[in-house]
Structure 1
């Protein structure tokens, strides 16, 4: 724990009459509780945030063909993410914890945010008072669905501006939202003399923002609620992508390779607990949550097929790598 935070907590404990008789012990126990909350929250939410990057990264490219100036494409998308079994649970052991222990057993297979709704009792002692809680549940779904809107407009020199936006999608025990923008540029226009006219090539750069929030734990104690009942993550994803396609009559088949870099940040974003009258616990814990911030890189393959009828298009997309993500889109061009 940061020395400044320790000193601050120590001074608060010393000057609070409710804690005077047990100040040193309570101070240590709060520190242990913070450590356990960080440990558990990291293992709990990381699979969901990793999966969110796949959901946000796929489906950007509707066509590799050159767009004319002012040409607009509007699409309604349905995204379906398949939750791998390996990312639905993790093993929690009493030896991992400093404050809590799993009631009645030494270890348990507990759900991540992508897991089921099975719960275990965790118990600890704060100033001689028992602290008891149920472990957080997962979304309890083998697939995660969310809808979003996407639009593109042709700019100059074969460039297309793309934007996507999803409303906040409610999940069991949480919610998810993504939005972003990108630029796609047609490349085969520079090789038109030597390029097969049914083959098209494009490059994309894009940025997306993914926000997730999950119900965490509601801890009651003699010192009040602790204010860690909601755990959120904010993800910034930057990606580059190369796509090549082949057209045959009304069908365009597209292959792509995506490389992205994502910055992950976490915080407890629910209402502050009543313990805030004694200690600004949520702010202290969120300062500690910065230690969990990380940057990850992904290499993702993508395959899609787009079929045209009149000015409408139907497109199915499959992104694959560590995870599998699918997308179905109905588009209109005008």
Structure 2
């Protein structure tokens, strides 16, 4: 292993012919990767957790049974409220094995959802080029995130609807966000005549969505080039099951929803591969690809329980909906749905 990574060591460490090379640096290489992955996890995880909430709401605007081939199209505006506790974290030198905070034992560091404060990080052994200390990445520095998405649905009969949503890439400070997915909704109240008689609607929905989120990350400068980890992506695949019950009153439909979803989180460094890509190979991989292999250590699966409340007002072919999803995070959704036929 040591022989395979010698070239990468020469690349990372600021060596010259006038310096005495200490073979002990071999013992610290893996520590560098561990520290980088640890920091990536603390930085990006609050944002990917938030992305699940951003995609979980707005799937259902009515629990009513639709007629066959009835279709609708919706335009959504969302506001996600960033909680203070997920905007930063305390980083201590004891959290690292190779790196350390320059001039301090600990510091408050922004997550991807945090502010624009930056802290300098160096290595404990003075091996990485001292002329280019590592700057911690900035967060979005927003208390609210605004984004939009489109939705559509069509009833194929028997109280069953096919539904979908799509959001174009949304630019946020220092990052981007996108979600898309599909699902199936089925009416249960059609089997319970007493519910239909009292204009109470009950439906279940199963959806699958993909959330992609990316942010600027670490720009590490060395004598022989950059490492290609200046952009980090969070890729989330979410399966969601929800139950909605609603009550109709004149032109209004008041609805409550219970949501359970299971999300698989994966991460990777993207963007330019760095100026060292053609120079260095580690076990046959360039620096960025090798870092991505190491990021597999922080892949994870999470289960969320979320609640939703909404009210929809119907006017001719239009349905105006206001909804809120909440538990760990709060996301609001305002939508206009147009009944096509």
Taking structure 1 as the reference length, what is the TM-score of the superposition? Answer: 0.93
| Distance of 1:260 and 1:184 partners within structure 2 | 15
Match 1:282 to one of 263, 285, 288 = 288
CA RMSD in angstroms comes to 2.1
Relative distance call for 1:7 and 1:259 in structure 2 (3 A) is farther
Deviates most, 189-198 or 168-177: 189-198
Aligned to 2:82: 83
Aligned to 2:73: 74
Aligned to 2:129: 129
Deviation at 1:331, TM superposition (A): 1.1
Greater percentage in helix: 1
Does the CA contact (< 8 Å) of 1:126 and 1:221 recur in 2? no
Aligned pairs (5 A) from 1:185-264: 185-192=186-193, 195-264=196-265
| Distance of 1:167 and 1:200 partners within structure 2 | 32
Deviation at 1:62, TM superposition (A): 1.0
Q: Deviations over 1:87-115 (max 9, x none)?
A: 00001111112232212211001100000
Does the CA contact (< 8 Å) of 2:68 and 2:155 recur in 1? yes
Does the CA contact (< 8 Å) of 1:75 and 1:149 recur in 2? yes
Aligned to 2:330: 324
| Distance of 1:278 and 1:302 partners within structure 2 | 51
Aligned to 1:293: 299
Relative distance call for 1:60 and 1:7 in structure 2 (3 A) is farther
Matched, 1:8 2:4: yes
| Distance of 1:14 and 1:199 partners within structure 2 | 70
Q: Deviations over 1:130-184 (max 9, x none)?
A: 2412111000000111100000011121101001000000010000000000000
Unmatched 5+ residue regions in structure 1? none
Does the CA contact (< 8 Å) of 1:93 and 1:107 recur in 2? yes
Does the CA contact (< 8 Å) of 2:162 and 2:184 recur in 1? yes
| Distance of 1:329 and 1:7 partners within structure 2 | 59
Deviation at 1:193, TM superposition (A): 5.0
| Distance of 1:194 and 1:229 partners within structure 2 | 56
| Distance of 2:195 and 2:106 partners within structure 1 | 64
Does the CA contact (< 8 Å) of 2:245 and 2:255 recur in 1? yes
Aligned pairs (5 A) from 1:157-196: 157-192=158-193, 195-196=196-197
| Distance of 2:291 and 2:271 partners within structure 1 | 13
Relative distance call for 1:221 and 1:14 in structure 2 (3 A) is closer
Deviation at 1:30, TM superposition (A): 3.5
| Distance of 2:99 and 2:90 partners within structure 1 | 15
Deviation at 1:33, TM superposition (A): 2.1
Relative distance call for 1:332 and 1:226 in structure 2 (3 A) is same
Deviation at 1:327, TM superposition (A): 0.4
Secondary structure of the structure 1 residue equivalent to 2:262 = strand
Aligned to 2:57: 58
| Distance of 2:317 and 2:121 partners within structure 1 | 58
Aligned pairs (5 A) from 1:145-156: 145-156=146-157
Give the 4+ runs in structure 1 shifted more than 4 A: 10-16, 18-21, 125-128
Matched, 1:94 2:93: yes
Q: Deviations over 1:311-330 (max 9, x none)?
A: 11110111111111110001
Does the CA contact (< 8 Å) of 1:30 and 1:126 recur in 2? no
Secondary structure of the structure 2 residue equivalent to 1:283 = helix
Secondary structure of the structure 2 residue equivalent to 1:302 = strand
